[in-house]
A and B are shown apart, each in its own frame.
Chain A
Amino acid sequence: MTGAENYRITDRPDGQRTGLLVDSERKIEFHFEGHKYQGLAGDTIASALAANGVWLLGRSFKYHRPRGVRSMAGLEADPMVQLEHEPNVQADRHPISQGLKVYGQHYSGSLKHDRQSFMGLLSKFMPVGFYYKAFYRPQGIWQKFWEPIVRRSAGLGKVNLETPHFYYDKKYEFYDLVVVGAGPAGLAAAIQAAESGAQVLLVEQDVIIGGSLNYYRFNADNSDSEKLRNELVEKIEALSNITARTSAYCNAWFADNWLPVIQDNRMYKVRADEVILATGSMEQPAIFRNNDLPGVMLGSGAQRMVNLFGVKPGNRAVILTANSHGYSSAIDLLDAGTDVAAIVDMRHDIPDSDLVIAAKNKRIRIETGSTIQEAVAGNRHVSGARIAKITGQGTCESSSSHIDCDLICMSTGFTPAYQLALQAGGKLNYDDENAIFDITGLPEHLHLAGSVAGLYDLDAVFKSGQQAAWRACNNLSLQSGDEPQLPAHTGQQGINHPWPIFPHEKSKEFVDLDEDLHYSDIVNACADGYAELELVKRYSTVGMGPSQGRHSALATARIVSRETNRSVSETGVTTARPPLAAEKLGVLAGRSFEPERFTAIHHRHIEAGATMMNVGLWWRPAYYGRSEEREQCISNEAMAIRNNVGLIDVSTLGKIQIRGQDAAEFLNRMYTFAYLKQPTGRARYLLMTNDAGTIIDDGVAVRITDNNFYITATTGGVDNVYRSMLWWNAQWRLDVDITNVTAAYAGVNIAGPNSRTVLEKLCQDVDLSAEAFPGNEARIGTVAGIPAQLIRVAFVGELGYEVHVPASQGEALWDALIEAGEEYDIKLVGVEAQRNLRLEKGHIIVGQDTDAMTYPEECGMGWAVKYNKPFFVGKRSLEIRNKHPSRRRLVGFEIKDKSEEVPQESNIVLHGNVVTGHVTSVARSPTLEKIIGMAYARTENEPGDRITIKLSNGQTVNADVIEMPFYDPENKRQEM
């Protein structure tokens, strides 16, 4: 078989069209392995290559054996190919497009001449689980020697890190009924339900609806399927309440009929009242030597190749069968121009059927009671089949006859496509005597139809679809007429051969092609003591490859059952978990919804050249200037507040209104300080601990009236604070209303010695003098004509006012303050400078200077806790914790030597070799002209002691413990 031959079917003796999916008028050029090929619109990569006589698509995982296509349904790993921007693409499902560049995967050198193909010769040295036994001695050799080798050898395609971003998204949908699978059962179900009035979603993984009606020959003259398909498709198209999604996967079943349906780059999150699984069945390969060669296909795969794509899968075929499907394939192949050398039927007695009679009439050689003992390897392709008489279960005569062929088709049985049903809690049962499957134990509102329910006769399949739809509609109160009944003949009997497994003395009879596992590997896994299927799976890796056991689960269960003297039904199958098929991370991620919050003044920051930083969802100006000028910008901004006047956007502060007659009592319970007697017009510090006494937030409470508090919380903590408040009051039932008004108000902090002078230009209805409006007080008035709340706060340790105004007027306030401050050279100040200024004042930032264990006494906040209150959240825990002395406390430190490297936050503090804490805040203070910081150190550390800080570069630096605050300890500056 060479690449020069043309396998495209140009005409068929039966006069039927060739290739339902391809358009023979539209040629498409693409590349495979650097060679240019021509295909037709509608071709998949695999069908187009097959039409050009290219059957070798990739190399196997372990032994680098040549592999091709087998199911033409995307069920196996072998046809996975590499595209420029995507690895592991199913060549039998991915359409070709003009100029598409395709490569084989997992080879060394060239696809045809893989340098690692010698690995197959070493197979006897690599029995199942050999790595468990070989790679661990001597100690340490795994990491140093074996792992690099295994990592180089493992994997299939390669991720292209230069791949551009593609657009993915998700969409929610709701239906009365979802039918998964648009074969005859699914179509019948969808039509029946839609005609009863249901809104129906029909999900089909193929590019067109029809399922087996599109490619399978149900009878000799092929009249049944084509006629039925045309009728059904016409009805589906006419019913406006059916949405048909093709090339779409229902990739899982989740509780309450929640279905992720993936089509192209979109995931539909579908909710359905009722679901019908008409997922069909998967043809199973027979197990014989060299059953993995290119040219060995499933019968259904060959029929897909012929009928969907108009490509003959070989010139001379041998059909291995145990049911009527093999005869169906044989007739299709004959019609396509393939010489059928023989039908090798594993059965001794072949029941007469329309298809069998037709095959006999066409004088096809039929060998009964026989099997293929071995596929003979040619030039990276099958070149013949050795046929032998079956002598017992899994045994055949040693003498065999040879038949030349370049195609072997296997039709020896099916398993239901059970994955979704089992995900829903269904149980797969197997009748060992008749080799029949059925699924029981499905939840309510989930129904089966067609061959997934074990029905293979077309009439039975069709009726089962109608019956499932009737039952679904009944649940939806939509049914009409009597419940359809199944015919007596279901086609179930004789569909599966009970033992199509023939081990060979030279091995290479593959059970799992993904993982290159032979028959003996499964047997040896059992011999090694792994009797349970789940353990065999993990030990041998059977079923763990990309095809997830679709073609190996049944054979494995059969072999394990025999090796452990149990029935297949007792052995069971491994757990079916989502996803059903591979799904891209992009699909899971969808559109990247990453909410962002902008303050009312955001665009002014951008205009002023701020470098922005995100704090939670908010964007805040870190500093105003370019990153290369960072230190200087921060220093200048800090000095402006110390010496002149600066403006900080504090809109992101959390803001909560607490109103009602129990408002004060509520705050008294939520926070550690005392609020019952807080006078109106006063602002008071807030410190919140959780149940365990750990500090979780802080802020300021302004008492506006007796029953009305306006409080602030940290930017990152307010949502948690608000939730916590609602949670506690759901228990306390205090008469209080809690409203999160964070977004409703913009806030600016105008601070510095000249702040009052600037503010006075815009605020005439509030006396801003130190006497009339001292620290920790609040007033209501107007600033630049904008209704405002003014609070004297001193976070940065200078005279300052927080001005809170309605968010829609925040930018106007900012503009007015800048204009008013122009004559004083007012400066915009970012978060970084603000943090340094508060550090100079020794103010903690919750979450930075505290951690998940910090309680008030540890960080010098004991003054903010009123233990004489009857209750506050965390009080009991704090009383207990205070009885157990802490081993650390937050101390201030300085490093006077300016040349020292500035430690970083989280650098550890050492006492000898013992870690006693870490640095929480640190900066080079422009005001104090030295390095200052806070760190957790031993409780014994007092001002005057030295602590050792280990820098990020591994060196250590000594720092002196000093009292905090570092700046203006008497608070004279802020009380100006």
Chain B
Amino acid sequence: MSVQIAFDKVKGRQQALSLSNNLKITLALEYASKDFKIAVNEELEGPQLINGDNLRLIDTDAILRYILNDFEGQRSDEYHYALSSLESLFQKNDIPEQHVEACVSKSLDNYLLSLEEPLSATRLITFANTYALRPELVQKKFSELPKKITDALQACKKLSPRSSEDFKR
């Protein structure tokens, strides 16, 4: 199967949203089976997957699920939490720090319990959303990450614009 995929290059978005979107796409590329031919479309701005005239996806959770062919767990508590409590924060401004940290801690304590392979699409989505909000807390819990996740994070770093903090360093 041959598809085109585009990263999130939309300017002015919340950094956590761009990071989460691009991380899900790099994870999809890492975990895609070899028979899946994926070409990166550099011209499109928003995150997208296009499969001919049949399919266009703009949601990176669905893109990851489609490439992994894993649609399980969409009614699980973990998935509901990952979307309605974590991912919904990406769209909002001025959320108190303590609230974000409490949501991330809840994810780490209750859902992101293990990153042992094989990883489901649901778990990768929980990981990407939690990591995008507080990478340092995820790294603190998981001193060693699976190689595919490490590679996806590396690829993602090359895409994401550097923050002012990076320049200071």
Q: Report if A and B associate in a common complex.
A: no
